[in-house]
């Protein structure tokens, strides 16, 4: 039996969703009998191959996020927005009430304890977007797993449904936005 | 639950029927108040029993159905076809008075889908970042979203810029989360006798304003025991220095579904009693 391939990534997120996925603990073993990870922070594979499922944590805050997200969309049959940030920008989107320049100045020029104040400008750094966006603003998203983070039980339920080919549904007790 | 198909009987009994369940009502009562009293949940955000109706959030839309079922068999034959339900019209249950014999559809997939879309609009036109909101778990907007199975905002977010008013020592107003339901406006006028709030502007410029010389809460007569402070269904009006007393995960809608809760009772009884 070929195992289903899952890719995961964290964009403008905090890795909390990935930590929560790992919180499935020993239940992961049963999942890994039927699934394997492609590009993911768990494998360190740098680019996405052809996958069945892509899980995206985090919103879109810079140009690199956009490239990674498009790579995921191109290679994953089912793309899932995981967690509050991927779904509506989440906590990083709190910066959307301010101009980008004001954010940079606050952190790098006027921030507490800043020495040699300057706004980083290295060509290697991905350019920041004016705002933090939910991923459905950039690509088509097939499913949403809300929560900040979604609980291990939610992840387990989702993997089980997807692996067994059931339609994914979230019981109301497991639905939460925080 | 009584079962009836006969409109005349129902008229005589002063009852309405919601999703097949016949319930009594009092003269002058709205459909939603009759429903809630009978333990039937109709989703709502801008309604609160005891305050005048507003009819702005549109979550309580129900269908009032004209039925031909009351026709006898011979009448049906004359019509040439059997038509169970003829016309239906959508009304706001919080503004429509209950009248005897109304046949109402409430908990249907179509209405709940429409309600979900309205809820998604409310989320996307404000800044609702639940993980950073003190009201998360106690918020009726969020609870209604759970009830309707809303998973995402669907629409492109507005990310509006709205003013925050933290000038008052005990009460704070975060307009990012205001859904313009006017519950605070009505509570202040009708229960607190103060007229502290109003909505100014129209469309996307509509915003909650404070009735004080500077327009700030600090210069207003608001007090933390006012009903207006406690009636807010979202995390727009908050009381300072009480944040997270009840931890996330143990709050009202962490433990209960919205339809199980009498929202009027979530406000401590001493509030607004003057
Ligand atoms: S007011 Fe309610 S819906 Fe809005 S951010 Fe707070 S908890 Fe979420
Ligand atoms: S502050 Fe709260 S109660 Fe007042 S209009 Fe806004 S959402 Fe409604
Ligand atoms: S509750 Fe009826 S329109 Fe808001």
B137-149 pLDDT, tens digit per residue, is: 999 999 999 999 9
Residues B149-167: pLDDT tens digits?
999 999 999 999 999 999 9
pLDDT at B274: 44
Q: What is the pLDDT of residue B266?
A: 73
What are the pLDDT digits (tens) for A94-123? 999 999 999 999 999 998 999 999 999 999
- Over 80: is that where the pLDDT of B269 sits? no
Tell whether B130 is within 8 A of chain A (Cβ). Answer: yes
Mutate to test the interface with B, among A14, A82, A88 (most CBs of B within 10 A): A88
Structure tokens at B174: 């975060």
Residue B267 host element (H or E): none
State the Cα–Cα distance between residues A19 and A152, nearest whole angstrom.
9
Query: Model confidence over A30-69: pLDDT tens digits?
Result: 999 999 999 999 998 999 999 999 999 999 999 999 999 9
Q: Per the structure block, which two tokens stand in for A16?
A: 């909390």
pLDDT > 90: percent of chain A: 91
Give the one of B131, B149, B254 whose C-beta lies nearest to A90's C-beta.
B131
Enumerate domains of chain B plus CATH numbers: 10-107 (3.10.20.30), 113-272 (3.30.70.20)
CA of A147 to the centre of ligand 2 (A): 25
pLDDT at B4 over 50: no
DSSP class of residue B51?
A: S
Backbone angles phi and psi of B90, in degrees to 5? -90, 130
Place of tokens 């059997």: B82
pLDDT in the model for residue A91: 97
Query: How far is CA A67 from its chain centroid?
Result: 13
B237-239 β-sheet, strand order: B164-165, B171-174, B237-239
What's the ipTM? 0.94
Residue B234 has pLDDT above 70, yes or no: yes
Are B66 and B85 in contact, with CB atoms under 8 Å apart?
yes
């Amino acid at each position: 039996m070929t195992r289903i391939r899952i890719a995961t990534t964290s964009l403008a997120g905090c890795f909390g969703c990935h930590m929560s996925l790992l919180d499935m603990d020993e239940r992961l073993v049963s999942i890994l009998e039927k699934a394997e990870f492609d590009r993911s922070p768990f494998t360190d594979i740098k680019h996405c191959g052809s996958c069945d499922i892509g899980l995206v944590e985090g919103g879109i805050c810079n140009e690199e996020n956009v490239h990674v997200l498009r790579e995921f969309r191109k290679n994953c049959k089912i793309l899932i927005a995981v967690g509050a940030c991927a779904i509506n920008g989440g906590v990083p989107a709190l910066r959307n009430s301010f101009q980008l320049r004001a954010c940079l100045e606050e952190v790098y020029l006027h921030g507490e304890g800043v020495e040699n104040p300057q706004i980083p400008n290295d060509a290697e750094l991905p350019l920041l977007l004016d705002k933090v966006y939910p991923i459905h603003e950039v690509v088509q998203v097939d499913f949403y797993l809300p929560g900040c983070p979604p609980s291990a039980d939610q992840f387990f339920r989702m993997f089980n449904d997807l692996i067994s080919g059931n339609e994914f549904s979230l019981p109301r007790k497991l639905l939460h936005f925080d | 639950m009584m079962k009836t198909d006969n409109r005349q009987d129902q008229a005589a009994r002063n009852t309405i029927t919601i999703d097949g369940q016949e319930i009594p009502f009092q003269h002058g009562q709205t459909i939603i108040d009759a429903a809630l009293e009978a333990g039937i949940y109709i989703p709502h955000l801008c309604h609160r029993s005891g305050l005048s109706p507003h009819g702005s959030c549109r979550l309580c839309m129900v269908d009032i159905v004209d039925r031909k079922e009351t026709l006898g068999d011979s009448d049906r034959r004359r019509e040439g076809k059997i038509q169970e339900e003829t016309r239906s019209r959508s009304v706001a249950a919080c503004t429509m008075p209950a009248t005897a014999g109304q046949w109402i559809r409430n908990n249907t997939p179509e209405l709940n889908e429409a309600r979900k879309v309205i809820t998604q609009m409310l989320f996307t036109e404000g800044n609702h970042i639940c993980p950073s909101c003190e009201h998360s778990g106690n918020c009726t907007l969020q609870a209604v979203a759970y009830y309707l199975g809303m998973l995402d905002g669907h629409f492109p977010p507005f990310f509006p810029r709205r003013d925050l008013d933290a000038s008052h020592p005990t009460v704070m107003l975060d307009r990012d989360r205001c859904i313009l339901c006017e519950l605070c406006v009505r509570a202040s006028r009708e229960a607190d006798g103060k007229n502290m709030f109003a909505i100014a502007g129209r469309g996307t410029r509509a915003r909650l304003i404070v009735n004080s010389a500077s327009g700030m809460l600090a210069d207003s007569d608001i007090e933390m025991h006012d009903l207006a402070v406690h009636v807010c269904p979202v995390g727009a009006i908050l009381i300072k220095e009480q944040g997270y007393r009840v931890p996330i995960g143990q709050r009202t809608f962490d433990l209960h579904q919205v339809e199980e809760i009498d929202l009027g009772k979530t406000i401590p009884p001493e509030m607004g009693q003057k």
